[in-house]
Amino acid sequence: MSETLGLVRWTLADLDTWSSRKRARAVNSLSGFKSATLVGTTDVQGVHNLSVVSSVVHLGSNPAQMGMVLRPPGVDAHTYKNFKATGQCTFNHIGVHWVSKAHQCSARYPEEVSEFEAVGLTPCGVEGTWKAPAVEESRVRMGLTLAEDIILPNACHFMVMDVQWVEVDSTAVAEDGYVDLGTAGTAAVSGLDGYHATTPLGRFSYAKPDRPVEVLHDVLTGWDDI
């Protein structure tokens, strides 16, 4: 480890000397701010499950697809097992006002225990054949079905999912389709345990070589391009 101009430098050899917990905290912080999501599933007996995931990514808009990374499945991999068994899950944005309840869902509860009941969150659903529970307190939530399960080189699983339905706080949606997550009260996460409220810096216009960038400081105004 060395320090230059106020920056500390870690080599792979340095990281390898650290305890697993210290290394996990540091490396998980390096990818930057991430989405803070509760993933809702149910098992074949109907027991609801919630887990905290910070690896959700947008894959495409047509068709609407999302992805997430899950750890190598072990005996307590309830989210993975439920998702594989039913093919359904929900993504629920964690709200800034109930972060502590959401974070508690990362505890390793027994399979027969519903995190909804354990932490005091409220399950909700949609009509029809949809079984995976959503979180009533969440102001941005969606239902997804499994498209592909890809095993990564480190034995983690990258789950490719099709978006089937979305529910969003109506006050957070601009006319051009933009969803203002700050208005919706969505929290962000850094590392394994750092949660953040957000402050908008503005929406910046589509960048072109021959045109200066414009900024919308009222992020719900929307661009006149639809």
- Locate the domains of the chain by residue range: 35-189
The predicted pLDDT at position 226 comes to 76
The answer to whether 155 and 162 are in contact (CB under 8 A) is no
The answer, yes or no, to whether residue 1 has pLDDT greater than 80, is: no
The answer to whether 225 and 207 are in contact (CB under 8 A) is no
What's the CATH number for 35-189? 2.30.110.10
The predicted pLDDT at position 127 comes to 75
Residue-averaged pLDDT of the chain: 94
C-alpha–C-alpha distance, residues 134 and 65, integer Å: 18
Longest dimension (CA), the chain: 60
CA–CA distances in Å: residue 74 to residues 33, 54, 90, 114: 27, 19, 21, 19
C-alpha–C-alpha distance, residues 196 and 187, integer Å: 6
Q: What percent of the chain has pLDDT over 90?
A: 91
The answer to whether 121 and 115 are in contact (CB under 8 A) is yes
C-alpha–C-alpha distance, residues 147 and 144, integer Å: 9
The answer to whether 153 and 110 are in contact (CB under 8 A) is no
Predicted TM-score (pTM) of the model is 0.93
The answer to whether 176 and 159 are in contact (CB under 8 A) is no
Which H helix or E strand runs over 196? strand 194-196
Q: 32: Cβ–Cβ under 8 A, 6 or more apart, which residues?
A: 190
DSSP state of 205: P
The sign of the torsion formed by the CA atoms of 162, 167, 169, 172 equals: positive
The answer to whether 50 and 135 are in contact (CB under 8 A) is yes
C-alpha–C-alpha distance, residues 137 and 13, integer Å: 44
C-alpha–C-alpha distance, residues 81 and 102, integer Å: 21
Q: Which two structure tokens, joined as six digits, stand for 129?
A: 């054949």
Overall average pLDDT of the 24-33 stretch:
94
Cα angle: 219, vertex 100, 24; to 5 degrees:
90
Work out the pLDDT band at 5, boundaries 50, 70, 90: confident
Work out the pLDDT band at 4, boundaries 50, 70, 90: low
